[in-house]
Structures are given as structure tokens and as C-alpha cells.
Amino acid sequence: MDRPNGFKFVGTRPDRPDGMDKVTGRAKFGADATAPGMLHAAIVRSPHAHAKILKIDSTKAEAMKEVKAVVTRADFAEGLTGENWNILENVMAGDKALYDGHAVAAVAATTPLAARDAAKLIAVEYEVLPHVTDVDKAMAEGAPVIREGAADKSVPDGLHANVVRYHESGHGDVEAGFAEADLVVEESFKTEATHQGYIEPHACLGQLGSDGKGELWCCTQGHFIVQKTCAALIGIEASQLRVTASEIGGGFGGKTTVFIEPVALALSRKANRPVKLVMSRSEVFRATGPTSSTSMDVKIGMTRDGTITAGEGVFRLQGGAFPGAPADLTAMCAFAPYALKNVKQTGYDVMSNRPKQAAYRAPGSPMAAFAVESVIDELCKKLDLDPVEVRLKNASKEGTKSSFGPRFDRIGLVETLEAAKAHPHYSAPLEPGQGRGLSCGFWFNHGGETSVSLSLSEDGTVALSVGTPDIGGSRASMCLMVAEELGIPYENVRTTIADTATLGYNDVSHGSRVTYASGLAAIKAARDVVNKLCARAANKWGIDKEAVIWEDGCAKPAGPNAGDFEPLPLARIARTMGRTGGPISGHFEATPEGAGMSFATHIVDAEVDGETGQTKVTRYTVVQDAGKAIHPSYVEGQFQGGAAQGIGWALNEEYIYGEDGRLQNAVFLDYRIPVASDLPMIDTVIVEVPNPGHPYGVRGVGETSICPPLAAIANAVSDAAGVRLTELPMSPPRILDALERQAHG
């Protein structure tokens, strides 16, 4: 950390710069844009889980006078390979529809209603094929093959063709470790797929003219990747497409890829008019990325004093009809919180007839934690040990060789456990019928390609351009960091999300990277500006640049030897910059690697109604290491949001497929995310163990908050119900089942 004198702005809680726009309805989200002559589009989707597409007949639709274009796979690029091919295949089906909701054609018409009517007139002839949606069934002998030859070289011989990636890691000798244990617990777990559930459906407005130049407006976590991918899928140069990110109504990982954007562009190219495409909620559920569903086996050995002697896990994830389920990340996260002599983890990425999974906050880690932390809880119960003490005893620290390989740098797991232990929640008495659960969670965090620019105005304000869409208040954090460096008021910094033609490449807002990486870049760009400001002052005073320092928003002589000059505030230098050498701006571009791994500990109390199987979370506390909280309110917000999503995942949310392979609950009424009356207040404790890889010590906070809840809630529910729950969600029927099994012993 390089601010020994502490912070002036960082750590305060000013109003966010986009607050006014967002409370007045002025903020422009994906679906809020219009263009002259704009058409509206609708997509035709497969009602079958797996089917050959024999014929698409759009004659009747095209006969409607409102219809201006119809596209099918033939209107997209050919010859793609790798992930671009997968994405195209997902965006618009080729020979086969691979899941219920898979897009097969699209139409653009003069009104949204006409587009919907026209979509109904497009006749698709299918030959229905056998399907599979369950992960265990998809890798079992005889399961229908989703795509021959999709597996890569990592997959050992003899596995079903639907197993497309394989991961194995660990160290030591787990069998020897289990032999040293006083108790070994082995358990199998299943989790259903859940959806990110952002309230804003995907929406975009695209224009691709006959000059080959395109404009795209869309809600996305990363407009640069949208630019690259769309250009590839429709067969133009990326440079010919300018993408502007709208305000984004939630993403949580689900808006890190494209679904409808290439379709809007293809329709626009054909109709030669701008095309707006907005998904309905049921399209969001059926055709955008849910998480993987999982099937997992975990075995852990422990001595009577609470030392873990070995841990072993097998993690099977189905990620829909494409490779890419994060089986490797799931396996790598599973035992990360613990310093283990013997550990082994195996991951299987399995294809099935479901939508292509997408990232959802720390992809894979919550499921892995559910399995591992449940087994640790069971061991604690059976050996009569305190769950915090056991975790403290085994906790990973700086220098620990991690379960996935490298040694940890400075990390804050122990600090979160100590803070949880000291929190009044941990020792508060429970009401009858309530149970308490605790869990740790881990996420890697990410740096990623980043570039920002910062320019000074003559009025003494500065404008920062970043390329990472603001998904949870990051503009406020950027403004705070720049204000800190320049020593000017927070209000004098304006942060804008620049489009793809204005700034160099930026990775997506994912991996909890924005406050870390864009923040680091903003700080460095501000330092670049400070250098230039000092040079102007040095020039004016006729002294060496090295003899000028920047302090409290002013250039000052470095010491008595440098001379005796009045401090020059930023605004004064700015006002005259036109005459003293021209505009001043700073920039920074890098791929920072020190994202700083992140840990959390959650404590939950839950109450289970034995009659109905209904669970109520009665108290919730999140303790997480933020490294350094730039704007604590938005850090707390990330903690609370992750916990709430975890509560939904643990108790309610799931993709329900019928025998026919169709998704049965593609509306919010049936896919029930937590509502205000389901939840308690969510208490937060921000732990700050500085990340050595960031000038202020920042660690990303967005994802780790969803890692512990599944396990913490399962542990609380198991405690309250007196029976171990091993399947998510712990919906009332599953709880009643478990109680029944327990009663009949």
C-alpha cells in the first residue's frame, strides 16, 4: 500500500454519480434506446430439447407487409472454429436444435406485435431426437450424444462422448491421509441449475448499413467482447462495429457473452434499417446462461483434534449443449480455504440438452463449497468440535500451498474467521426449532486487459473514461480513487463508460475485476496526470521537475532547497494549460496480475417448519475480506446481494425440466427468486487485509459473497432439521422427504 498517510476520500460514502439518473427514470438501459426507422425483432425458438431441423419455411411471415427481414443460420458467418463456433451455434441453431428455447430463426418487422405475429408464422419442421438433461444420466452409457467429437484431449479414454473436458489436480497422497484420520466422512451432493436472474432482460439496438459499418447499443458486462464476437459471427471486421454499453440492469456473469446482438445485426444488414431486439423473461430463462447443475462426491478425513488429514472430491457439471461448464474452477475452489497435506480433486464437464451455461458470480465455487463445507460440518458434529475452531485450525494463510497448486500470497481467511467468531451473531442463543450454520468461501478474482484515459478540463475538473460497464456502483469508486490521487473534490471527477471506438481494449466486467483493475489503471492514469502537472509547475517556477511534489491537490516545491513558491492548485494549472503546453491527459493500459484472492465466512440462522418443509432464514451475517473498501456502501451491497442470491439458490431456485426436456418454470412466478418478505436484514463485516497487488490494497468483492451461502444455509437447515440435506434447492418437498427418511431411519 502506498498511501502511508491514510486516505482522504477512499473509504467515504458519497452519493453515486449516476444516482440522480437512476432515481428519476432518466438512466438509459438496454431496452430504452430508439433510432429513426427502427424495426423490432422476434426470435423463433425450438420447442424441443433435441431435434433435427428439417425445414424452415418463412413464406407466410415474409408475405406480411410489416415484415422487412427474416434470418436463419445461413445469414451468419461460415467456417468459424472454437468458442466462436460454439457461440454462433448457440445464437442460431445449425442442423440441430439442442435445447428447449434454442433460436432457429428471427424476423424484423415494423412493430413489436407484428414481429411476434410473424415469428408465429414461421413454420419449422423438426425430427425429434432422444434427449438428456441430467448430468449423471448424460455421462452414463447409452445417453444420447449431443455432439460427436466435442471432447478435447484432456478427457481420458472410455468416457461417454458427452464428457468433453476433464480436470485433475491436488498434491500428497489422499489414501495415506484417510488412513491417518480418526473419522472419514463421505457424502454425495446434487445442485440444480439456477439463473443469474438479472431483472433487465437482454436488449439491444443494432444497425449495420450497406457500407459495412455497424453500430450496436446493448446491455452487457463487456462491450469490447461483444464487438469482437458479433463481428466474427456476422463476418465483418471488428473495427467496423462500434459498440456502446447501455446502463446495465444486472448481469452477475450472465451478460458476459452474446445472445441476441448478432441476430439484430444480421437482421439490420438484411433490412438495411436499425433493429431493436428485446428478450422476454421466458426467453431469458430458456435461452440464456443458467449455471451448471452438479453431482458431486466429497470425502474428508479428520483427526479427533480437528486436523483435516485428506480431502478428495469429484465434481460433475453439465453446462448445456456446449463445452464450458466450469468443472475445473469448481474442483480448484473446493478445498482452497484449507491447508491440506493430501488433496485431490477431479472435474468433469458434461454436455446435455440444456441452454449453454454462463458464468454466475464465482462460477463453480458455490457448489464446491456446498459439498466440502457440508462434509466438514458433519465431521465437526460427529467429533463434537466447534466449526470456527476447526476452520481456523486448517485455514490457508500466506505461504500455504493451495489445493490447486500455487502458494497463497497475503490472504485474509483467518481474519474473516476471527471476525466471525467475535461477532455477536456467532454466540447468540438460538430459538427452539432454529439451527445455525457456518461456511467459508473462496474465489480467485481476476485482473484482465484494462485501459483507461483521464483528461483535464480548463475548469479544473477531470473526465475519466473506463471500458468496464458499471454493474454495481463502480463509477463512484473510480471517482473516489482519482479524487484521492489528484487531491480534488470527488464531485470534480466524472467517470464515463467509453465505447469501443474511444478506448483501447478492455476485458469484461467480470472476475470481480473492475474496482481492482480499472481502479488500478485509474490511479496510474491520475499519477500520469500528476507528473504532467508537476512539469508545468516546474516550468513556471523555472526549477527541475524532480523538485516539485504533488500534495493536497497542489504542486509544491519539494523542500526549502527547491525554492519558495506559492502552491499551484490543479485548477490554476488547468486554467492556463492551453498557453503552457496544451491539453493535459493521462492514460494507463495493462493486464494487472495481482488481483488478490478473496475469502469470506458467513453465519446463518434458519428455522425449518416440520409440517410444511418451509425454511426461513432468520439471521444472516457476511464477513468478507475486501482488501480495502473504496466505497463501503457498495462493498456491503455486494456482500448482501451475493448472500441473497445464495439464499435463493439454497432454498428455492431451480431449473425444472419435464420428461419432454422442456423447461417448466420459465417465469418469475415459478422460478421464484427471493422477495423482500423472504429475507432478514443482512449484516456485514468488512475485513481489510490489503492486497499487495493494488496500490490501495483493493481486492474484488463481487463474487466471493455467493460462495459460502449454499453451504452455510445447508448447515443451518441440517442443524435445525436434525438431518443432513445433500440436494439443492432445499425446497419444502426435499426437506419433507429428508425428514421422512430420517423418521423411518
Q: Which of 24, 210, 427, 561 binds another protein (CB under 8 A)?
A: 24
Binding piece for another protein, criterion CB under 8 A, among 422-430, 546-554, 657-665, 672-680: 672-680
3 state DSSP class of 66 = coil
Q: Which of 200, 373, 378, 688 binds another protein (CB under 8 A)?
A: 200
CB of 278 to ligand FES, least distance (A): 12
Q: Does 11 help bind another protein (rule: CB under 8 A)?
A: no
Instruction: Report the C-alpha gap between 108 and 287 in whole angstroms.
Output: 19
If the CB atoms of residues 231 and 617 are measured against another protein, the closer one turns out to be 617
640 binds, among ligand FES, another protein, none (CB under 5 to 8 A by kind): another protein
C-alpha to C-alpha distances, 581 to 533, 542, 584, nearest whole angstrom:
11, 15, 8
**Interstrand relation of 203-208 and 214-218 (parallel, antiparallel or unpaired):** antiparallel
Binding piece for another protein, criterion CB under 8 A, among 126-134, 320-328, 653-661, 666-674: 666-674
Instruction: Report the C-alpha gap between 339 and 414 in whole angstroms.
Output: 12
CB of 597 to another protein, least distance (A): 23
Q: Does 633 help bind another protein (rule: CB under 8 A)?
A: yes
Q: Does 19 help bind ligand FES (rule: CB under 6 A)?
A: no
If the CB atoms of residues 5 and 24 are measured against another protein, the closer one turns out to be 24
If the CB atoms of residues 20 and 140 are measured against another protein, the closer one turns out to be 20
CB of 635 to ligand FES, least distance (A): 15
31 binds, among another protein, ligand FES, none (CB under 5 to 8 A by kind): another protein
CB of 260 to another protein, least distance (A): 15
Q: Which of 101, 214, 473, 729 binds another protein (CB under 8 A)?
A: 473
C-alpha to C-alpha distances, 605 to 217, 434, 465, 585, nearest whole angstrom:
44, 7, 44, 52
DSSP state of 430: P
Going residue by residue from 223 to 252, which x/- string records binding to another protein, judged by CB under 8 A? ------------------------xxxxxx
Instruction: Report the C-alpha gap between 217 and 33 in whole angstroms.
Output: 8
Q: Which of 5, 23, 559, 659 binds another protein (CB under 8 A)?
A: 23
**Interstrand relation of 183-191 and 293-302 (parallel, antiparallel or unpaired):** antiparallel
Instruction: Report the C-alpha gap between 41 and 20 in whole angstroms.
Output: 32
- Site of grid cell 460454439: 86
Q: How is residue 696 written as a grid cell?
A: 490501495
If the CB atoms of residues 250 and 732 are measured against ligand FES, the closer one turns out to be 250
Going residue by residue from 649 to 678, which x/- string records binding to ligand FES, judged by CB under 6 A? ------------------------------
DSSP H or E segment with residue 225: helix 223-234
Instruction: Report the C-alpha gap between 478 and 634 in whole angstroms.
Output: 12
CB of 672 to ligand FES, least distance (A): 14
Q: Does 32 help bind another protein (rule: CB under 8 A)?
A: yes
- Window 448 to 467, contacts with another protein (CB under 8 A): none
3 state DSSP class of 715 = helix
CA dihedral 566, 569, 571, 577 (to 10 degrees): 70
DSSP state of 740: H
CB of 623 to another protein, least distance (A): 15
Instruction: Report the C-alpha gap between 543 and 549 in whole angstroms.
Output: 12
- Window 239 to 258, contacts with ligand FES (CB under 6 A): 250
Q: Which of 179, 199, 422, 656 binds ligand FES (CB under 6 A)?
A: 199
Q: Are 235 and 88 in contact (CB under 8 A)?
A: no
DSSP string spanning 2-56?
--TT--SSTT--PPPTTHHHHHHT---BGGG---TT-EEEEEEE-SSSSEEEEEE
Q: Does 112 help bind another protein (rule: CB under 8 A)?
A: yes
Instruction: Report the C-alpha gap between 177 and 188 in whole angstroms.
Output: 20
C-alpha to C-alpha distances, 562 to 140, 258, 552, 566, nearest whole angstrom:
78, 57, 18, 12
Q: Does 199 help bind another protein (rule: CB under 8 A)?
A: yes
Nearest in space to 101 (alpha carbons), one of 225, 195, 26: 195
Q: How is residue 297 written as a grid cell?
A: 462426491
3 state DSSP class of 245 = strand
Work out the number of other CB atoms within 10 angstroms of the CB of residue 392: 16
Strand (E) positions, 609-647?
615-625
Nearest in space to 326 (alpha carbons), one of 354, 288, 368, 287: 368
Q: Does 636 help bind another protein (rule: CB under 8 A)?
A: yes
Q: Which of 318, 453, 509, 645 binds another protein (CB under 8 A)?
A: 645
Instruction: Report the C-alpha gap between 657 and 651 in whole angstroms.
Output: 18
Q: Which of 4, 25, 36, 424 binds another protein (CB under 8 A)?
A: 25
Q: Which of 128, 385, 679, 739 binds another protein (CB under 8 A)?
A: 679
If the CB atoms of residues 538 and 643 are measured against another protein, the closer one turns out to be 643
If the CB atoms of residues 115 and 471 are measured against ligand FES, the closer one turns out to be 471
Q: What angle do CA 115, 118, 119 make, to 5 degrees?
A: 85
Q: Is 115 exposed, middle or buried (0-12, 13-18, 19+ CB in 10 A)?
A: buried
Kindly list the strands in the beta sheet with 568-569, ordered across the sheet, starting from the edge strand earlier in the chain.
548-551, 554-557, 568-569
> Count residues contacting another protein (CB under 8 A)?
59
Q: Are 599 and 625 in contact (CB under 8 A)?
A: yes
- Site of grid cell 425449518: 608
Q: Which of 170, 320, 363, 472 binds another protein (CB under 8 A)?
A: 472
Chain centroid to CA 563: how far?
53
Going residue by residue from 534 to 563, which x/- string records binding to ligand FES, judged by CB under 6 A? ------------------------------
CB of 250 to ligand FES, least distance (A): 5
Q: Does 667 help bind another protein (rule: CB under 8 A)?
A: yes
Q: Does 447 help bind another protein (rule: CB under 8 A)?
A: no
Q: Does 471 help bind another protein (rule: CB under 8 A)?
A: yes
* Residue whose Cβ sits closest to ligand FES: 199
CB of 524 to another protein, least distance (A): 27
If the CB atoms of residues 112 and 250 are measured against ligand FES, the closer one turns out to be 250
If the CB atoms of residues 115 and 164 are measured against another protein, the closer one turns out to be 115
Query: Computed from CA positions of residues 700, 704, 705, 706, in that sequence, does the dihedral angle turn out positive or negative?
Result: positive
> Count residues contacting ligand FES (CB under 6 A)?
2
Going residue by residue from 147 to 186, which x/- string records binding to ligand FES, judged by CB under 6 A? ----------------------------------------
Q: Which of 3, 11, 29, 461 binds another protein (CB under 8 A)?
A: 29
Q: Which of 5, 81, 427, 677 binds another protein (CB under 8 A)?
A: 677
636 binds, among ligand FES, another protein, none (CB under 5 to 8 A by kind): another protein
Instruction: Report the C-alpha gap between 108 and 273 in whole angstroms.
Output: 10
Q: Which residues bind ligand FES (CB under 6 A)?
A: 199, 250
Q: Give the binding site for another protein (CB under 8 A).
A: 13, 15-16, 18-20, 22-29, 31-32, 111-113, 196-201, 247-252, 278, 280-281, 471-473, 631, 633-634, 636-638, 640-641, 643-645, 667-669, 673-677, 679, 681-682
